[in-house]
Amino acid sequence: MQKEILIAGFGGQGVLFAGQVLAYAAMDAGRVVTWIPSYGPEMRGGTANCTVVIADEEIGSPLVKHPPVVIALNLPSFDKYEALVQPGGMLVVNQSMVDRAAKRSDITVVFVPGNEIAEETGDRRLLNMVMVGALLAAFPELQLDDVKAALKAHLPEKHQKLLPNNFAAMDKGYEVAKGQLETAAV
């Protein structure tokens, strides 16, 4: 098994941290992992993306041209990566920042109002955890509880007090995506 995940958005949306959390969860589960960040020179507001490759055996290359899974946190990322998702793949989209439907019908597209959910959960900076939860609703390679355990294990002590809100954000993203996927399956 080898799965590639690409997460893309603006700097400041927690793109790189979302990838790190997924990578830690896979590592803690005994999988082989690569995490490659990429970002523009701006501190906030520039482009940011990262790729996470999760495998059961040695990874030949951490570079991903056509990922099976993409999380797009904004419209420019949606526009750029929709065409690159493998046929049969999945695109998880922050509906709060995207004003159009998907153009492709050969992939699964899940729209989650990430910004609104993050704000309801108590902090707009939780967008990344909302979207990680949404991804996990259709990503059997990692379980929600394993990702929560990895977050708890790898989050610095001074930030441990933020765990309940992060967990709530993940849970809500998971619920919204799961509901969409179940409705689409009917």
The continuous run of DSSP H or E covering 50 comes out as strand 47-55
Q: What is the pLDDT of residues 9-43, one digit of tens each?
A: 988 888 999 999 999 999 999 999 999 998 766 55
pLDDT of residue 48: 87
pLDDT of residue 44: 61
Number of domains in the chain: 1
Q: What is the pLDDT of residues 116-130, one digit of tens each?
A: 999 998 899 999 999
Task: Tell me how far the alpha carbon of residue 91 is from its chain's centroid.
Answer: 10
The residue whose two tokens read 């690569």 is 34
Mean pLDDT of the region 79-84: 94
Residue range of the domain that includes 49 = 2-185
- The dihedrals phi and psi of 19, each to the nearest 5 degrees, come to -65, -40
pLDDT of residue 41: 63
pLDDT of residue 159: 84
CATH of the domain at 144: 3.40.920.10
Q: What is the pLDDT of residues 41-70, one digit of tens each?
A: 655 667 789 999 999 998 887 788 899 999
What is the value of pTM for the model shown?
0.91
